[in-house]
Amino acid sequence: MEKTLVILKPCAIQRALIGEVISRFEKKGLLLAGMKMIWLSDDILNEHYAHLKDNPIFQRIKNSMTACPVIVCCWKGRDAVRIVRAITGPTNGRDALPGTIRGDYSMSIQENIIHASDSPETAEIEVKRFFNADELFDYKSVLIPHLYAQDEY
């Protein structure tokens, strides 16, 4: 099954949305493979947001992401990246439809509650960036036959 990374940003932590956000993925049927609370270091932020290093908002993003600890999660499931992105909604919360996480809880392009990997290739890199192999769990969920047809898992 495909794995993807989700980061609950400081704005989600400060607004006490942790349970609400996590429950959206659980209710959809994604399986939690790993989760931890961490302070993001300057080094990991420089690596994670390297594609924005020349952007004038780079330091503002880093400041926002270090306002408090974040929660990093690895979710898995069939087409997990695509599913998580659909549940999350577009980056700009003002453009996100009601029913998505950002549509329900965000008015900002930056303070948009959550980071979600944008492709399976990126997800693989990001999961390895934030989790050691021994922090990810592979287990048989009793829910699988109730989530997928037999030929889907």
Kindly state the percentage of the chain with pLDDT values over 90: 97
- 67 contacts: CB under 8 Å, gap ≥ 6: 10, 11, 14
**Residue 100: DSSP 8-state:** B
Name the residue with tokens 């453009």.
Answer: 95
Residue 136 · residue 74 · CB < 8 Å:
yes
Which helix H or strand E contains 131, and what residues bound it?
A: none
- Cβ neighbourhood burial of 73 (10 Å; 0-12, 13-18, 19+): buried
Would you give the distance in Å from CA 51 to the centre of its chain?
A: 18
pLDDT on residue 82? 98
Average pLDDT over residues 76-103: 98
The CATH number of 2-152 is: 3.30.70.141
Average pLDDT over residues 22-36: 98
Active site residue 115: yes
Tell me the C-alpha distance between 69 and 6, whole Å.
14
Residue 153, pLDDT above cutoff 90: no
Tell me the C-alpha distance between 25 and 127, whole Å.
17
Annotated active-site residue in 48, 51, 115, 146: 115
